[in-house]
Amino acid sequence: MTAPIAVPQSSISSSSPATSYTINHENTAGLPESAFEGPEKLLEVWFAPSPEDCPSGKGLKTVARKDWEGMLDLVNCKVLSVIENDEVDAYLLSESSMFVFPHKLILKTCGTTTLLIGLTRLLSLAASAGFTSSQTPWRVFYSRKSFMFPDRQLPPHKSWHDEVEYLDKHFEGGSAYHVGRMNGDHWFLYMTSPGTSAATGNTATRTVGLKEGFEDETLEILMTDLCERRARQFYLPDGYSSTESESDGHALGTTCSSQTKIDSIYPTSEYPDARVDSYLFTPCGYSANGVVPTPSSTGYWTIHVTPEPHCSYASFETNVPTSPTSTSLATVEKVVEIFGPGKFTLTLFEARGVEAERKGSLGVDEVKGYKRRDRIVYEFEGYDLVFLTFEKEK
Ligand SMILES: C[S@+](CC[C@H](N)C(=O)[O-])C[C@H]1O[C@@H](n2cnc3c(N)ncnc32)[C@H](O)[C@@H]1O
């Protein structure tokens, strides 16, 4: 067991409500203690190609927190805290995270949440933010890893087939993919083509397809069979009662981020304006969001950990652009070192044409201490996807 740790009270996110947090215990109540569904559903909806193409330049950032909370109620998760800057609002949720940029929204939820049930409300909130063609967003991506306990999911998440049918009812011309082994780790992806609709409905600002120089890259690492010793770091330290720990969740999370070196994945020495918001659940489990301003834009990262040995899982996702000091490989090695997974899946989505950045994906072919099993490359309209699976060397 780990020793009790000192908790820095001042580290609690300033924009977090000071009162205790309402966590949705219903999502875990129906599951045996040792069987939490870590693998997340991930929805990314782009209403315009860039913040400059948004109504009033602020787009989705004009939607009030209480309206997002209404949408999240339908999904069955709660807001724990938010960190904000001019470019993004990063919401830490009871089941993962949400990032709201002016032109796009990223919603990632785990457990038995019903992410897609929130879709209709999301589209109408986008309409209220001035996206007059919100029913046909500029681009939609929905993806997830294969579930560990698919039978426990609620409609429409009971099967990939059901999810695709649900998405097809909302969007025209979507394509659905099963990526990877049927009888091993695999990943599902649904996406629509770029520019099937105008961002604002105003023909003067209508943007169809990808602009020259459009940049976007998202790296996801989905890890299972975590090293038990390292997973122990994501349990409540000895000496905490559950009442204390729930009100200290953010402070405990901050300490955990520092002890595990999660807060050094994008170090403040290199990214001085970076901010981290983290939470340690009771009796275990951890979530964190990072907001990382870079010279070109503000990026995000997010980590979620289910440390229970029977269903251990951790995910990392980022869109912080690669650089000579933070290549995709360097980031992958730092993250994998924290969790020591037995297996992991890596997906790297890159807007095509960013030649300098594409070198990053090729460099992730070899990860120290791991054997690569699969490498699958897709060339989609405007994007390349690299899907890789790795297993720890014996
Ligand atoms: C929300 S977190 C991170 C989930 C994430 N998708 C992941 O990577 O596994 C889930 C972990 O927190 C624990 N947990 C404790 N209380 C929870 C609550 N009220 N809601 C959700 N998870 C809770 C779960 O048992 C699990 O270990």
Distance between CA 234 and CA 153 in Å, rounded?
25
Cα(285) to centroid(ligand 1), Å: 5
Pick from 209-213, 333-337, 342-346: least confident:
209-213
CA angle 88, 141, 67 (to 5 degrees): 45
- Residue 304 among the catalytic residues: yes
Which residue, judged by its Cα, is nearest atom 12 of ligand 1? 285
The pLDDT score that the predictor gives to residue 263 is 96
Atom number of ligand 1 nearest to Cα 25: 19
Six-digit token string for 35: 């069987």
Cα(306) to centroid(ligand 1), Å: 6
Which residue, judged by its Cα, is nearest atom 24 of ligand 1? 285
For residue 309, count other CB atoms closer than 10 A to its CB: 11
How confident is the prediction for the chain on average, in pLDDT? 85
Write down all domains in the chain, each with its CATH number in brackets.
38-209 (3.60.90.10), 218-392 (3.60.90.10)
Cα dihedral 180, 182, 183, 189 in deg (nearest 10):
50
Six-digit token string for 290: 């990072």
> How far is residue 336 from each of residues 173, 260, 284, 374, 389, measured CA to CA in Å?
37, 12, 20, 17, 13
What is the greatest pairwise CA distance in the chain?
Answer: 63
**Cβ–Cβ under 8 Å, residues 303 and 341:** no
**Cβ–Cβ under 8 Å, residues 277 and 289:** yes
Distance between CA 86 and CA 51 in Å, rounded?
11
Omega within 30 of 0 (cis) for the link into 283: yes
Tens digit of pLDDT for each residue in 80-116? 999 999 999 999 999 999 999 999 999 999 999 999 9
The pLDDT score that the predictor gives to residue 351 is 83
Q: What residues are in contact with ligand 1 under a 6 Å CB criterion?
A: 23-25, 27-28, 36, 38, 40, 94-96, 110-111, 281, 284-285, 287, 304-308, 313-315
The whole-angstrom distance between residue 34's C-alpha and the CA centroid of its chain comes to: 23
**Cβ–Cβ under 8 Å, residues 192 and 45:** no
Backbone angles phi, psi at 206, to 5 degrees: -60, 130
- Residue 175 among the catalytic residues: no
**pLDDT mean over 147-153:** 95
- By the 10 Å C-beta count (0-12 exposed, 13-18 middle, 19+ buried), 148 is classed as middle
- Residue 110 among the catalytic residues: yes
Tens digit of pLDDT for each residue in 182-207? 998 899 999 998 765 433 343 333 34
Distance between CA 44 and CA 76 in Å, rounded?
18
Cα(179) to centroid(ligand 1), Å: 26
The pLDDT score that the predictor gives to residue 240 is 78
ipTM computed for the complex: 0.94
The pLDDT score that the predictor gives to residue 136 is 83
The pLDDT score that the predictor gives to residue 69 is 98
What does the DSSP assignment read for 13-38?
-TTS-SSPP---THHHHTS-TT----
Atom number of ligand 1 nearest to Cα 305: 8
For the cut 60, the answer to whether the pLDDT of residue 141 exceeds it is yes
Tens digit of pLDDT for each residue in 217-242? 899 999 999 999 999 999 998 877 76
**pLDDT mean over 161-174:** 96
The pLDDT score that the predictor gives to residue 10 is 30
**pLDDT mean over 51-72:** 94
Residue 242 DSSP SS3: helix
| 308 annotated binding-site participant | yes
Cα(202) to centroid(ligand 1), Å: 43
**pLDDT mean over 327-354:** 90
Distance between CA 142 and CA 46 in Å, rounded?
11
Tens digit of pLDDT for each residue in 243-299? 666 679 999 999 999 999 999 999 999 999 999 999 999 999 999 999 999 888 899
- Residue 161 among the catalytic residues: no
For the cut 50, the answer to whether the pLDDT of residue 24 exceeds it is no
